[in-house]
Amino acid sequence: MNKIRIAIEGGAGYTAGELIRLLINHPFAKIKYIHSQSNAGKPVSSIHRDLLGETDLIFNDIDFSDSDVLFLCKGHNQSVLFLNENLLPDTLKIIDLSQDYRDESHAFVYGLPELQQTRITTAKKIANPGCFATTIELALLPLAFNNILNGEIHITAITGSTGAGQAPTESSHFSWRNNNISVYKPFRHQHLKEIKMVLKMVQADFKSAINLIPMRGNFTRGIFASLYVDCNQDLSAIKSYYESYYSNHPFVIISNEMPDLKQVVNTNKCIIYLEKFDNKLYIISMIDNLIKGASGQAVQNMNLMFGLPQDTGLHLKPVAF
């Protein structure tokens, strides 16, 4: 097949950097345009310094008529402005990595492949899920699919500093973040809206409270979510639900051993661990927030949109030590 011609808008941030890293090694992708308003004319590797020697791409303007797919890597509320201000060809497919279109009230399909693979294959516009949302939705989807998600959900989830974006803030500064941990947005995180939307898409009568305590970790990348729910079924039955649900989804792995975060860093995997304590089902779910939680999932969606195996270009080894 001809290579997919790719344009990236908002090319200077962490998600764009990871997207470029993945796509320059993708066998069916050709990056033609990377735009960053603040870095026009500069070598991409001068901003994404891990790409030194990997690419000679330059930040430039986008020719939408000469592109097959546009990745929007702009900040939240910026994708809406960009699409309102630019007339794009009807043939151009769009994958938005912000939260602007995740509620499916627009023409965008919510791009969680483990939920909407069929819809994604025919979609023209994809809203890439959030990182916390992806981690938690994948932890709970098999329960909702089997209509047994009926009690309150309790979640503590810790994320690396890259989840806060590239722009420096007080809470992402090394001297504050190192040897430190903190809670932010307890019970009010913005990803709760899309998590509830997804669970209701699968289990229509879902109405339970989702108690999410997000935490900032003193590491750079990854999300480790620890969940528990009431569940009277035995562990073998529950495991069979998960193994069946994810049997055709290559990136979700059900582990029989307690996992650790480094097993998913630099991969598009989600590793899930299940255990029962009396009537409580305990779940661990973990991903790399920049890969499965952002850029890797965006490439996975692109693969599906263009008729490729969804794991094309995403065979990545974890950084395990």
Q: Which residues contact 28 (CB under 8 A, 6 or more apart)?
A: 1, 3, 4, 306, 308, 312, 313
- The catalytically annotated residue of 73, 131, 231, 270 is 131
pLDDT digits (tens, 9 = 90+) for 69-117: 999 999 888 999 999 999 999 999 999 999 999 987 789 999 999 999 9
Q: Can you give the residue ranges of every domain in the chain?
A: 4-129+292-305, 131-289
131 in active site: yes
Please say if the pLDDT value at position 178 is more than 90: no
Distance CA 289, CA 45 (A): 22
Distance CA 72, CA 79 (A): 7
**Residue-wise DSSP of 216-245:** E-SSSS-EEEEEEEE--S-HHHHHHHHHHH
Q: Domain 131-289 falls in which CATH fold?
A: Dihydrodipicolinate Reductase; domain 2 (3.30.360)
Distance CA 139, CA 53 (A): 38
pLDDT digits (tens, 9 = 90+) for 204-221: 999 999 999 999 999 999
pLDDT digits (tens, 9 = 90+) for 17-58: 999 999 999 999 999 999 998 999 999 999 999 999 999 999
Q: What is the pLDDT of residue 152?
A: 96
Mean pLDDT to the nearest integer, 130-149: 97
Q: What is the pLDDT of residue 173?
A: 65
Mean pLDDT to the nearest integer, 285-299: 98
Pick the CATH number of 4-129+292-305 from 3.30.565.10, 3.40.640.10, 3.40.50.720, 1.10.10.10: 3.40.50.720
